[in-house]
Amino acid sequence: MSPSSGTTGGGTAVTITGTNLGGATGVSFGGAAGKVTADSGTQITVTSPSGTGIVSVTVTTPGGSASAGTFTYMTPAPAVTGLSPSSGTTAGGTAVTITGTNLGGATAVSFGGAAAKIAADSGTQITVTSPPGSAGGVSVTVTTPGGTSSGKFTYVIPAPAISAISPSSGSTQGGTTVTISGTNLAGATSVTFGGAAAKIAADSGTQITVTSPPGTAGTVTVTVTAAGGTASASFTYTPPAIN
């Protein structure tokens, strides 16, 4: 019998050789009927049914039955064909759909070795939530009872965004304490008011406190530069009050 093994899903074309095989009325794999596609006195071609483990293959003809030996069912190896999206922020939390074949029953999905949370799983698709990671490309490895397969995912540093500046105006003499609110502001390398550098007093992911530099009366662009890029807002310089 060749081959003597196939996947649990069935569909393997198996050739059984011997004598007096003509007119076979059935071929069973552990009691499950296989589909006979060709038959002669010396050879039978049959498509294996689905099954598990190691089973006996029995050929039945008008002259009786004979064992063709044993057939081993193997869990098919997974194959990853794509990830969507194929990138996400270093903070994690990106919903990623992994497509491929034989993905059912996944026991683990890792991003560069870090475990991801599996939200849904089928034979052709797995949905996971990416864990946090460092900027750059990592291997995404899917583990199933049939083995492992991998794809690629790129971690990117999220771009900063400014939602508010308070106060939004100050004296041309500078020295105004300004709070910049937003997202992904941590690790800011510079804050400029119309191109002039401001002194950063405090910095977090959602808020930066700076001291405005001197400037010329009018509205200028305040630019925050962080690891993920830049973000900007407006600030208005006003002449100092005359007492």
pLDDT tens digits, residue range 79-102?
999 999 999 999 999 999 999 999
Same domain, 67 and 97: no
CB atoms under 10 Å from CB of 216, counted, come to 10
Claim to verify: residue 85 and residue 70 sit in the same structural domain:
no
Average pLDDT over residues 111-128: 97
Q: Tell me the sheet residues that pair with 213.
A: none
pLDDT attached to residue 240: 87
* Whether residues 86 and 57 fall in one domain: no
CATH code for position 175: 2.60.40.10
- 10, 48 contact by CB (below 8 A): yes
pLDDT in the model for residue 9: 87
Quick one: pLDDT band at residue 150, thresholds 50, 70, 90? Answer: very high
Give yes or no for a contact between 198 and 225, defined as CB atoms under 8 angstroms apart.
no
Is residue 128 one of the residues assigned to a domain? yes
Averaged over 63-69, what is the pLDDT?
97
The predicted structure's pLDDT at residue 243: 65
Q: Which two tokens stand for residue 125?
A: 């698709």
Tell me, yes or no, whether 243 lies in a domain: no
Region 57-86 average pLDDT: 97
- Percent of the chain scoring above 70 in pLDDT: 100
Domain co-membership, 64 together with 133? no
Please give the Cα distance from 80 to 208 (Å, whole number). 43
Residues 6+ apart with CB under 8 A from 242: none
Asked if residue 85 has a cis previous peptide bond (ω within 30° of 0), the answer is: yes
Give Cα 236 to chain centroid, integer Å: 45
How many residues in the chain?
Answer: 243
Rounded mean pLDDT, 111-130: 97
Identify whether residues 107 and 42 lie together within a single domain. no
Which pTM does this prediction carry? Answer: 0.73
pLDDT 10s digits, 212-225: 999 999 999 999 99
Which of 48, 74, 100 is a domain's end point?
74
Mean pLDDT of the chain: 96
What pLDDT, on a 0 to 100 scale, did the predictor assign at position 241? 76
pLDDT of the residue at 94? 97
Note whether residue 25 is domain-resident.
yes
Q: How confident is the model at residue 186 (pLDDT cuts 50, 70, 90)?
A: very high
Question: Which residue range(s) make up the domain with 128?
Answer: 79-156
Q: Please give the biggest Cα pair distance in the chain.
A: 120
Amino acid sitting at position 176: T
Count how many domains the chain has: 3
175-192: average pLDDT: 96
Q: What dihedral do alpha carbons 70, 71, 74, 79 form, nearest 10°?
A: 150
Residue 59 in contact with residue 24, Cβ under 8 Å? yes
Q: Which residues pair with 180 in a beta bridge?
A: 165, 208
pLDDT at 145 over 70: yes
CA distance 231 to 225: 7
